[in-house]
Amino acid sequence: MDWVERVLGIRQYERHGERAPHKPLLLLHALGRFQRDGAGPIPFSAAETPLRRLLHEFGPPRATSPGYPFHHLANDDLIWVVETPAGPGSPGSGLTALREPGVQGRLHPDLAVALAERPGLLTQIARALLDANFEPSLHGDICQEAGLDLDGAALPSPVLPARDPAFRLAVLEAYEFSCAFCDYDGLLDGVAVRLDAAHLRWRAYGGPDDLVNGLCLCALHHRLLDRGVMGLTRDRTVTVSRKFMGRGQAARSLVQALSGRPVRAPQPGLPGVEPEHIDWHTAQVFRTPARTAA
């Protein structure tokens, strides 16, 4: 059985095109538990808080109950099982029922056996879930939050075509090796240091390796873009989430003070980011509402 293909085939509910990584986040949490504790059951009472945190940090901007994936993932064959003291079967997605003593979930026994018998399968599944649902800049943060250790050589993505190697250079050249948000332009021996080609629409959701979907950003602002802390308007000004809090001068000057600042334009004659990709990021990633312009 191809477990990676089966896991990637889990049914995801999407409302009005909203990205829905709820089940993948539960699976990543369960894989982290498997690494630490083996194939034992995971009481909902133990999973609720870390799963809520994963959904809040890496799910869509709209808040989602952790009861949703805990219950609904059991509808996907041979992946997840929910049990109550009365026997197999979920009591529903409501938190009151799931919080009852004895309600627990676990990886399906067939999957647990495969993970135990096939070294590397857990890493393959986890990387496939990450590739299929999130930008690479978030993978390390998600693994840390889920308690996953994926040390070792990176495996090629089984679900996405290889990133166009020309994309990064094309984007950096278009923006003259300067961050489009803050103008950082660090070089070491003539080579750009911590400058990235960031996607507005994530590749996992159809974002192309093309200038119309790319911005040159420093490593800090790339990470904040992918976390939904920062974004941009159709008028090409920087937005900063009101939910972002920074008490020190660095956070104020490097992030909050950029709210309302014009985004750097590419060189004349080259296309900027298309509105449809800006709209996707605003709806699917940015943590509304935006702060008042500085």
Instruction: Please give the helix or strand (H or E) that residue 81 lies within, else none.
Output: strand 80-84
**pLDDT at residue 13, rounded to an integer:** 67
**Residue range 173-191, pLDDT digits in tens:** 999 999 999 999 999 998 9
CA–CA separation, 142 vs 119, rounded Å?
22
CA geometry: angle at 168 spanning 184 and 61, to 5°?
A: 75
Cβ-based neighbour number of residue 50 at 10 Å: 18
Nearest to 236 by CA among 182, 183, 181, 280: 181
Q: Which own/partner pairs from 234-237 qualify as long-range (CB within 8 Å, at least 24 positions apart)?
A: 234/275, 234/278, 234/279, 236/262, 236/263, 236/265, 236/272, 236/273, 237/261, 237/262, 237/263, 237/293
What's residue 153's pLDDT?
44
Give the pLDDT band of residue 62 (cuts 50, 70, 90).
confident
As a whole-number percent, the residues of the chain with pLDDT over 70 amount to: 96
Confidence of residue 163 (pLDDT cuts 50, 70, 90): confident
